[in-house]
Structure 1
Amino acid sequence: MSDILHLLIPYAASASEGCQQTLATLALPHLDRLLARLAADPARSSTAEETSFSAPHERALAQALGLPADDGRTPWAAWHRQQQGQPTDGQAWAFVAPCQWQVSTDHVTLRDPEALGLDEASSRALLAIVSPWFAEDGIHLHYEQPTRWLAESPLFADLATASLDRVLLRDVRAWMPDAARARTLHRLHSEMQMLLYTHAFNDARAERGLPVINSFWVHGAGALPATAAGPASAPSVPLALRDAALREDWRAWATAWTALDAGPVADLLRQAEQGRPVRLTLCGERAALAFHTAPRGLVQRIKARFQPTRFAQVATQL
């Protein structure tokens, strides 16, 4: 594994009006100094539509780990299983998140599974209820944690699925998997809503004041390629900005950025100042912009000193 230090920051900026207003007064001195020392790395940068299935930070992380980075086709579940020391045997796996879809006249919003109050016992009970329905279609579910199960099926081979981060608190319809390839999943969504709508499991939850669970979300599907490359560098991926950004709580997001700047960013800056090679990847909803230490000529050094790259400039591209 390379000894290059790599900091990959998801949700570094957003095109949201609230974020743009916050950025106007956000001071990140260590990040500005770090950007002034680094050179852009176009080969590791990427841009896509905000409706792409893979968020920019996931594409960048997949690239850093030597995994396929095609939109919606990084086999995160199979990779996770491998990291846990469990065999994948070349099979296709996926994550399945039990969740609640809030249906209105013009939106189908996916609530954050972490807000559902699921513990291991209730998640396993729900798994026992729905597993036979999935098994009839050749999908075998396995408990992994309260808000996330693992699923194995040939259905998940080469199936593009949208990141959970893409759909949290948003209308799921823009990120549903292709109907022709995922006809079985579309039918299971309907069946689960009918099954769970009046099920005693949800009746008991309602009595305790907990949200009902009426659906699921499949993500991270695929099989690990036999020739997958090893990681060029294993990045550090702080998630401090994620929750605030997804909820568009820009005050909390600014607070998290300030702490990040004083912590991991300042540490990376110190390493760069000591001459160690470093990488920085800043990710928004549209783009992942990569920077790295690289030899610079005299003209480049002078330009960097008097016209340094600032985060305010970079943020407009994310």
Structure 2
Amino acid sequence: MKKIFWGLGLLFILSCSDNDKNESSIDYAQEMRNFVINIHEDAIDKNSEFIIIPQNGIALVANNQEATGDLNQPYLEAIDGVGQEDLYFGFNLINEQTPVEETNNLNQFLQKIQAEGKQILVTDYCFSPEKVSLAYQKNMSQNYIPFVAPDRELNKIPLQQLPGENNENVTSLSQVQNFLYLLNTENFNSKADFIQQVQLTNYDLLITDLFFQAETEFSSAEIEQLKQKANGGKRLVIAYLSIGEAEDYRYYWKESWNRDFPDFIEAENPEWEGNFKVKYWEEEWQEIIYGNEEAYLSKIMNAGFQGVYLDIIDAYEYFE
């Protein structure tokens, strides 16, 4: 498979097998950058306005992964914004303030990314009314786009007033003032129930899964319904896509993998049963994600989503 690889500002086009690489010589951070860049290139070939937002792993924006380091411009050019969890609440425990030194370190990166014209989406985790209010206040003072979730299941629509609520048609990430991260649909009785509940809200952006209850894909007609805000405006709808772990409930998971993992699967994530660390630089895994009509990205784009929210970007830290 032909891939585009970026080094420190240099472009290379190579046709090779990733299996030939000596893993001891792999630059894991750069391999993740390359992966995101290739996803971007594949997407914009089909839709020049398709949105790419990696979640966490924000140190990738710097060549040396230090907040004071030079920025990796090819990576920045491939993304439209970044998502960051636990900036102010939830780093250690839900409803607990994130340690100040951690917040300060993250903010150094986020402010540099923001200065490059990229949008910052922050998901904090807390439920006490005063902490929810504080989380929104802190994020909005930084011009970040906030969402405050009561738990990590991301399975409910919080009952709270939205910051920047508006009835505008939101057609670009730069117009977004608030968002809903509703990944787990287990609490909804049906697709119709899920769509109806989302349509009763005025969030500018919805991040959700391609599959309802991990089983049936949303159709393009259903995605169009999800774009409708209660006040008459339109929202963006973006699909969640994990690229650093394989999940055993996904359509691509083969029965044989339960007995014998393919070479690109490394180990099960002890924190999330059924999620498996992958050697994300290997061609077999990347072909599952992008580059062909059966790939996950193709399914997302064909369903009418306007972008992807890429998760487990920080998988490179595991291998480092």
Q: TM-score, normalised by structure 2?
A: 0.23
* Rg larger for: 1
Structure 1 or 2: more helix by fraction: 1
Give the number of the structure with larger relative contact order, counting CA–CA contacts within 8 Å between residues 6 or more apart.
Answer: 1
